[in-house]
């Protein structure tokens, strides 16, 4: 039984297949057709909806999500808002009114998603008591996952800056959703504890694990593969925590990028800057660090930086917990060290030591919401003589898995990073990697791009450049 509210009305649904998306639920079962399908992959934002949940104080707040890849069953107990639910009789919501007044809608297909992204921004600022217009960086971040093929961004940005000047109607609180008895979802399992999770995983060995689903659901929406059994991690409370230790933090498998961002901003600025380019806000509200590792993509954004950090992974099964260095996790293309009945429970981020720096850069065709062509991450300590020590470098997009660049590390270890050392490091790239040609980049481009990123790292690590802040513009 799936129970939720949509635009203030309660709905209870039975017999939805496990892989039903929120978009299919809205358009095919609930008749809410204002939400559009553009890409079916979480890239264009036309299907953006607002998902409402309650915080520890019982306050209802909304975050944006891509309905086309959001599993419908994860909405159990949530309050959904779509473009149909914002107006109050003849009075448009300020976001809608601002778009009308500033001519922010052209063909109109992408407009519902843009409206909902801006609604979530307006809702957040209202809850925080923020007055005045949002700045351009905030607007760009919110709209980074909404594509407008009519190129109407100037008018949309003007509307975003003006929406605070219009009266904000009180949004009705739909009230608590009391549980409703009914048959469990066919093939969709939502355990509430680690022990229940490993038990279900043992009973259903062919079931796929899903957290944010921002990669897995593409198998269903694009490749049209059936996903008859899914085990949802989002209900396991223990996996939704960040546990601080003396030397670092354990990040639970259910922690989203949005929840992780404050920690990264405080302790790993380069990682946080990378996160701003990992998908869109809609994606980061759902996707998880553990999920990005478990799908084992060679162009995943986080594996190289976790390898550079020397992260550890905690795996769990009926056989108990075990820890594994991240260097040993990827065993081949889309293959990991996870055994039958085992899942990735948490990721350990070690603290940076005094004098230690972490650098990370991503190269992609589009700045926002795009997949890497190549990725480089470097961690090192620079001693008082300018020599690099404890160098760890990892790259993505250069092999069948993300992997360490050990010959490059050796070329840098214990040496002052001058021009000659840079030349040696660049020569060593071809000893570590033999990349392929594909639709994202050629072999030659990838090798040249990594060499260019090493040159950038040299500038960053030299004494006259290392005080320059890491900015989004330089990435």
Domain count for the chain = 3
Residue that is last in its domain, among 111, 142, 165: 165
Above pLDDT 90, what percent of the chain? 84
Residues 322, 372 share a domain: no
Residues 362, 291 share a domain: no
Residue 188 lies inside a defined structural domain of this protein? no
- Output the CA–CA distances (angstroms, integers) from residue 154 to 148, 161, 236, 393, 402, in the order listed: 11, 11, 43, 40, 38
For residues 431-449, give the mean pLDDT.
94
> What pLDDT, on a 0 to 100 scale, did the predictor assign at position 178?
64
Residues 246, 105 share a domain: no
pLDDT of 152-201, one tens digit each? 899 999 999 999 999 877 777 777 776 555 555 679 999 999 999 999 99
DSSP letter for each residue of 234-260 = TT-GGGG-EEE-SSEEEEETT-BHHHH
Residues 335, 406 share a domain: no
Residues 454, 413 share a domain: yes
Q: What is the CATH number of the domain that holds 254?
A: 3.30.465.10
Is residue 120 within 8 Å of residue 63, measured between CB atoms? yes
Residue 222 lies inside a defined structural domain of this protein? no
pLDDT of 317-341, one tens digit each? 999 999 999 999 999 999 999 999 9
pLDDT of 5-57, one tens digit each? 999 999 999 889 999 999 999 999 999 999 999 999 999 999 999 999 988 88
Q: At what angle do helices 153-162 and 94-101 cross, to 10 degrees?
A: 130
Residue 411 lies inside a defined structural domain of this protein? yes
Residue 170 lies inside a defined structural domain of this protein? no
Residue 118 lies inside a defined structural domain of this protein? yes
Report the chain's mean pLDDT, rounded to a whole number: 92
Rounded Cα gap, residues 86 and 99, in angstroms: 13
Residue 205 lies inside a defined structural domain of this protein? no
Range of the domain at 46: 2-165
Q: Is 265 helix (H, G, I), strand (E, B) or coil?
A: helix
Residue that is last in its domain, among 304, 325, 350: 350
> What pLDDT, on a 0 to 100 scale, did the predictor assign at position 213?
94
CA angle 307, 309, 310 (to 5 degrees): 65
CA atoms within 13 A on the CB side of 464: 1
Q: Which helix (H) or strand (E) holds 388?
A: strand 388-396
Q: What is the CATH number of the domain that holds 407?
A: 3.30.390.50
* pTM value > 0.85: yes
Is residue 315 within 8 Å of residue 294, measured between CB atoms? no
Q: What is the CATH number of the domain that holds 11?
A: 3.10.20.30
Residue 226 lies inside a defined structural domain of this protein? no
Residues 339, 360 share a domain: no
Beta carbons within 10 angstroms of residue 44's beta carbon: 24
Residues 422, 338 share a domain: no
Residues 304, 329 share a domain: yes
Residues 369, 327 share a domain: no
Residues 43, 22 share a domain: yes
pLDDT of 331-377, one tens digit each? 999 999 999 999 999 999 999 998 899 999 999 988 888 889 999 99
Residues 430, 390 share a domain: yes
Residues 384, 329 share a domain: no
| Block residue for tokens 């509200």 | 285
Residue 187 lies inside a defined structural domain of this protein? no
Is residue 190 within 8 Å of residue 234, measured between CB atoms? yes
Is residue 212 within 8 Å of residue 287, measured between CB atoms? yes
> What pLDDT, on a 0 to 100 scale, did the predictor assign at position 294?
95
pLDDT surpassing 70 at residue 470? no
Residue that is last in its domain, among 350, 373, 393: 350
> What pLDDT, on a 0 to 100 scale, did the predictor assign at position 465?
46
Residues in the chain: 475
> What pLDDT, on a 0 to 100 scale, did the predictor assign at position 184?
58
pLDDT of 227-268, one tens digit each? 999 999 999 999 999 999 999 999 999 999 999 999 999 999
């Amino acid at each position: 039984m799936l129970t939720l509210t949509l635009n203030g009305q309660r709905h209870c649904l039975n017999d939805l297949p496990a892989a039903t998306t929120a978009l299919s639920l809205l358009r095919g079962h609930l008749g809410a057709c204002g939400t559009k399908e553009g890409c079916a992959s979480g890239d264009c934002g036309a299907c953006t909806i607002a998902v409402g949940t309650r915080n520890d104080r019982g306050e209802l707040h909304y975050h944006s999500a891509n309905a086309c890849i959001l599993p419908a069953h994860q909405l159990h107990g949530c309050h959904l808002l779509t473009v149909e639910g914002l107006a109050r009789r003849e009075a448009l919501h300020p976001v809608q009114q601002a778009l009308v007044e500033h001519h922010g809608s052209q063909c109109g297909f992408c407009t519902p998603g843009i409206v909902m992204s801006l609604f979530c921004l307006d809702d957040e600022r209202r809850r925080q008591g923020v007055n005045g217009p949002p700045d351009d960086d905030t607007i760009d971040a919110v709209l980074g996952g909404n594509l407008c093929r009519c190129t109407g961004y100037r008018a949309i940005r003007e509307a975003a800056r003006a929406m605070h000047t219009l009266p904000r109607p009180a949004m009705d609180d739909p009230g608590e959703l009391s549980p409703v008895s009914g048959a469990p979802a066919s093939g969709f399992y939502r355990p509430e504890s680690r022990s229940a999770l490993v038990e279900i995983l043992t009973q259903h060995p062919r079931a796929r694990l899903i957290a944010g689903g921002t990669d897995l659901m593409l198998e269903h929406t694009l490749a049209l593969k059936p996903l008859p059994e899914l085990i949802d991690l989002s209900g396991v409370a223990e996996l939704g925590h960040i546990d601080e230790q003396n030397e670092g933090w354990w990040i639970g498998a259910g922690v989203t990028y949005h929840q992780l961002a404050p920690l990264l901003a405080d302790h790993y600025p380069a990682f946080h800057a990378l996160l701003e380019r990992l998908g869109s806000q809609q994606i980061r509200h759902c996707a998880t660090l553990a999920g990005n590792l478990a799908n084992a993509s060679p162009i995943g954004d986080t594996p190289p930086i976790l390898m550079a950090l020397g992260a550890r992974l905690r795996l769990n099964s009926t056989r108990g917990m075990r820890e594994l260095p991240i260097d040993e996790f990827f065993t081949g293309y889309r293959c990991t060290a996870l055994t039958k009945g085992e899942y990735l429970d948490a990721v350990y981020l070690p603290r940076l030591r005094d004098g230690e720096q972490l650098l990370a850069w991503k190269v992609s065709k589009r700045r926002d919401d795009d997949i890497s062509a190549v990725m480089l991450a470097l961690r090192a300590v620079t001693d008082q003589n300018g020599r690099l020590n404890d160098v760890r470098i990892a790259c993505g997009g250069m092999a069948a898995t993300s992997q360490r660049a050990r010959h490059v590390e050796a070329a840098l270890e214990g040496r002052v990073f001058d021009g000659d050392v840079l030349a040696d490091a660049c020569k060593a790239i071809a000893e570590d990697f033999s990349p392929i040609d594909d639709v994202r980049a050629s072999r030659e481009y990838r090798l040249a791009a990594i060499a260019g990123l090493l040159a950038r790292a040299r500038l960053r690590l030299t004494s006259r450049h290392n005080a320059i802040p890491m900015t989004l513009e330089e990435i």
